[in-house]
Chain A
Amino acid sequence: MPGVEGFMYPNEIELQWSVLIVLYPFLTGLVAGAFILASLERVFRVQAVKPTYRLALLTALAFLLVAPLPLQLHLGHPERSYEMYLTPHKTSAMAMFGFVYLWYLMAVLVLEIWLDYRRDIVVLSQSTTGWKRWIYKVMTLGSSNISEHALEIDDRVGWLVTLIGIPSAFLLHGYVGFIFGSVKANPWWSSPLMPVVFIFSAMVSGIAAVMLLYMLMRWSRGETIDMRCVDTVASYLFYIFIIDFSLEMLDLIHRIYESDESFRSLDFMVHTKLYVSHIVVQILLGTVVPIALLGLTQVLRLGEIARKRIYALAGCLTLVGIFAMRWNVVIGGQLFSKSFLGYTTYKMGLVTREGLLMAIVLTVLPLVILWVLVKLLPPWPEKNSGSLPDAAPAN
């Protein structure tokens, strides 16, 4: 049979989870990582990263809004997906998706963004005209009180929401890791380390994405990049990346040393079908090189331009590497037979429901949403107006 080497159980030849399921943990990882970066400023009072705070929240929201789409498109019966809310199966990890997602979206992210932007929204609802005014009016949710006392309460509640948000972000992505890590039938996935690796890789990708977006946006708006902020973000990226890489290597060394019955099959797969995506792209280009580049900025005194270029390159490579990691987990876990006697091939469609084009659209869509969000809720004071106009305090 074309694309099959050795023996596969006959129902295994076709892959069940496509590139869209690769995108799902990639997108939720960016959400969790971006939120954790935001929480550094809010909860841990790391003032240096403050310029990225609002951008990180908006990035998390933009990606979170798109995260369920690849899942919906992948389902055989998307019209039945609401059943997960009505009759969730208590023993299923996947059944919790809807609840974890809604909790994170509504109870954490939207609430925190609204509380943080409330003053701005109220001011904009008074200073803008036309349809924008109406949008802001709706976004105030009828609350126009921006007295000092009210804003202080917003701040306290926002802090509490962020505090709840940190374990929620861990839950959101650790849970995605658990979906894979708890499949005992699949030795490539089945590992208690999987949720932990997913959380750390999520932080790495989210921080890299916000760092890149911050630099890109400031540059495109002709504004100066706050190097103290970017240096701090990059140093966090570096340290978390080292933890992430150590965990992944621990998993690898453990597998090699134990060499259980699946090892020969998995080892062969890594050296053949997954060689480029796993060894070259994920480990070398996507992990070792960015860690080395970020390490250089920690030990050498480099100029501002050199640091910017290194951060941009390391950030891009990091995102490619984390995407490759998701690819290798999801696709790699389906290329070998559970008989450990053969291998199949993933044939990605181009213009199909689960094809390459759809994957590209779903990757670009969060960036379009982010663009709209940034226009609607500017993360920094607008250049032309200098700052938001003052509003008349509410009675």
Chain B
Amino acid sequence: MSITRRHMLLLLPAAAVAWKHVLAGSPEASPNYKISEHWWSMLIDLTKCIGCGNCVRACQTENEVPDGYFRTWVERYHVTDYDIENPHVDSPDGGKKGFPPTKEEGGKNFFVPKLCNHCADSPCTQVCPVGATFISPDGVVLVDKKYCLGCRYCVQACPYGCRFINPGTMTAEKCTLCYHRITKGLTTACCEACPTGARQLADLKNPNDPIHEFLKTHSVQVLKPYMATHAKVFYNGLDGSVR
């Protein structure tokens, strides 16, 4: 069949649309990195977190996060014995400068670092109208800044409050698990800065990763499991009062 000018006119827009699909949502390429060999997650051991805020500061510096917005933050919980469902929580400036001494007496206090849970069934990627946010084949939820409309639907859809609109780019932003670092064999800025090793980057596809041993021997939990998002940030020692 010969291709006429009419056929070409019909085919060209379709090809342009198909090409846009191909271009949309491809993660940053890195030499020697085999994307299919990884499935990234993070382990947070709450029994080790001291609420120093190093992770928040490291993240803000590494990723140039604007003031007042957070890719990661630390919450301090105070839970009394008689009302565990209503904890008192604070996170002054996202815990960036640590925490002032608590005035609460009785009960227990602990810190909970938060970040994007890189959900395998993420509601944020589900709702994006153009597919600007997507799950990369190695399990990291990313945003294509050049493609995002800034409609904010993903911010509404995240059950964990992990997304925001960057006032500079006017696009959605969130933790990328320092994708630019982990694809080069480094760990994330927050994990590197953590003085107690409370945060550990983990690769579930790597059989030698210590996370496998840890998951076998500890009771770990994810945030809001009833949301069925298949979150991949695992918490050791997570109290039932944490939201």
In the bound complex, what is the Cα–Cα distance between A195 and B149 (angstroms)? 25
Given A10-B73, A11-B161, A341-B87, are A76 and B126 also a contact pair (CB < 8 Å)? Answer: no
B20 touches A185 (CB 8 A): no
B130 touches A87 (CB 8 A): yes
By a CB distance below 8 angstroms, the chain A residues around B94 are 10
In the bound complex, what is the Cα–Cα distance between A91 and B114 (angstroms)? 27
Residues of A in contact (CB 8 Å), total: 40
B73 touches A75 (CB 8 A): no
Given A11-B162, A185-B156, are A95 and B130 also a contact pair (CB < 8 Å)? Answer: yes
In the bound complex, what is the Cα–Cα distance between A91 and B153 (angstroms)? 13
Given A7-B89, A76-B149, are A91 and B126 also a contact pair (CB < 8 Å)? Answer: yes
A339 touches B161 (CB 8 A): yes
Query: A375 near B: Cβ within 8 Å?
Result: no
Given A185-B123, A337-B161, are A7 and B129 also a contact pair (CB < 8 Å)? Answer: no
B149 touches A81 (CB 8 A): yes
In the bound complex, what is the Cα–Cα distance between A338 and B21 (angstroms)? 33
Q: Which A residues from 1 to 53 make CB contacts under 8 A with B? A: 7-12, 14, 16-17
A7 touches B91 (CB 8 A): yes
| Shortest beta-carbon distance from A73 to chain B in Å | 12
In the complex, which of the residues A81, A87, A337 contacts B131, with contact meaning CB atoms closer than 8 Å? A87
Query: A372 near B: Cβ within 8 Å?
Result: no
B127 touches A94 (CB 8 A): yes
In the complex, which of the residues A81, A89, A184 contacts B159, with contact meaning CB atoms closer than 8 Å? A184
By a CB distance below 8 angstroms, the chain A residues around B147 are 80, 83
Query: B9 near A: Cβ within 8 Å?
Result: no
Convert B122-155 into 0s and 1s, putting 1 for each residue whose CB lies closer than 8 angstroms to a CB of A.
0101111111000000000000000111111101
In the complex, which of the residues A75, A92, A179, A340 contacts B126, with contact meaning CB atoms closer than 8 Å? A92
Query: B165 near A: Cβ within 8 Å?
Result: yes
In the bound complex, what is the Cα–Cα distance between A74 and B147 (angstroms)? 16
In the bound complex, what is the Cα–Cα distance between A153 and B148 (angstroms)? 46
Given A9-B160, A11-B162, A83-B149, are A76 and B20 also a contact pair (CB < 8 Å)? Answer: no
In the bound complex, what is the Cα–Cα distance between A74 and B243 (angstroms)? 30
In the complex, which of the residues B68, B89, B162 contacts A339, with contact meaning CB atoms closer than 8 Å? B89
Given A76-B170, A92-B127, A94-B127, are A87 and B17 also a contact pair (CB < 8 Å)? Answer: yes
Nearest-CB residue, chain B, relative to A11: B164
Query: B171 near A: Cβ within 8 Å?
Result: yes
By a CB distance below 8 angstroms, the chain A residues around B130 are 80, 83-84, 87-89, 92, 95
In the bound complex, what is the Cα–Cα distance between A184 and B160 (angstroms)? 12
By a CB distance below 8 angstroms, the chain A residues around B16 are 86
In the bound complex, what is the Cα–Cα distance between A114 and B169 (angstroms)? 43
In the complex, which of the residues A9, A11, A75, A185 contacts B151, with contact meaning CB atoms closer than 8 Å? A75
In the bound complex, what is the Cα–Cα distance between A76 and B132 (angstroms)? 13
| Shortest beta-carbon distance from A83 to chain B in Å | 5
A11 touches B126 (CB 8 A): no
B156 touches A16 (CB 8 A): yes
By a CB distance below 8 angstroms, the chain A residues around B148 are 76-77, 80
In the bound complex, what is the Cα–Cα distance between A294 and B223 (angstroms)? 50
- Between A and B, 15 residue pairs with Cβ closer than 8 Å are A9-B73, A11-B161, A11-B162, A16-B152, A16-B156, A76-B150, A76-B170, A86-B16, A94-B129, A94-B153, A95-B129, A184-B227, A185-B123, A338-B161, A339-B89
